[in-house]
Amino acid sequence: MEIVKLNFEYSDDVTVINREQFEAHMRLYEGYVNKINEIDGLLADDPDLEGANSTYSEFRGIKRGETYALNGVILHEFYFENIGSNNNEPDEVVMNFLSRFFGSYELWQEHFVATAKASRGWVILCYDPRSDSLRNLSLDLHDYGNAAMSIPLLVLDMYEHAYFLQYADNKAEYIDNFMKNIDWSVVKDRIESM
């Protein structure tokens, strides 16, 4: 089944990134959608299973690209969905949820920001049903650092492509603007749909 690109429209409410930064990032997202569809096509079209080899093989290339492209699609969709809106404060339900696992909303925030500073790819606030815990995961690549059962609740893109056009090397300002422009209604919906 073909993976369809979702439409995220730029809005002036999305103050964490400007239009130029948004549109450049959207083109990258579209690239991942195209690649996972290309990979799925290769998998459906009699790939060389006999030649599979972990040092080098065409099939290994397909398999490495599969999770990279798929996570690239999924994580960007979570990110674009949870940035910017007029819902920039978590309500009591979300506050209590974060406090239950991190002690307080403020403590969660400190951990999340530090995780962002420590990450080269993604930061994911996720729920792990196996350990009944919330975790701020740090991914250096789309397919490196994720936890198998994690349910993403809030996603931040820390790749340089996400902010460099607008913020240059001012990573701290990008993180700060992200934290002030989270659409908490989206996070709440994700919590309530678990």
List of residues contacting Fe ion (CB under 5 A): 157, 159, 162
142 is in an annotated binding site: no
Minimum gap (Å) between residue 79 Cβ and Fe ion: 7
Identify which of residues 73 and 94 has a Cβ nearer to Fe ion in the complex: 73
What's the closest the beta carbon of residue 129 comes to Fe ion, in angstroms?
27
Distance from C-alpha of 32 to C-alpha of 67, rounded to nearest angstrom: 11
Rounded to whole angstroms, how far apart are CA atoms 45 and 167?
A: 43
In this complex, which beta carbon is closest to Fe ion, that of residue 27 or of residue 130?
27
Largest CA distance in the chain: 56
Residue ranges with strand state E in 41-157: 122-128, 133-139, 151-157
**Least distance to Fe ion from the beta carbon of 72, Å?**
8
As a whole number of angstroms, the distance between CA 145 and CA 163 comes to 21
Question: Is 111 annotated among the ligand-binding residues?
Answer: no
Question: Which residues are annotated binding-site positions for Mn(2+)?
Answer: 25, 76, 157, 161
The binding site consists of 25, 76, 157, 161
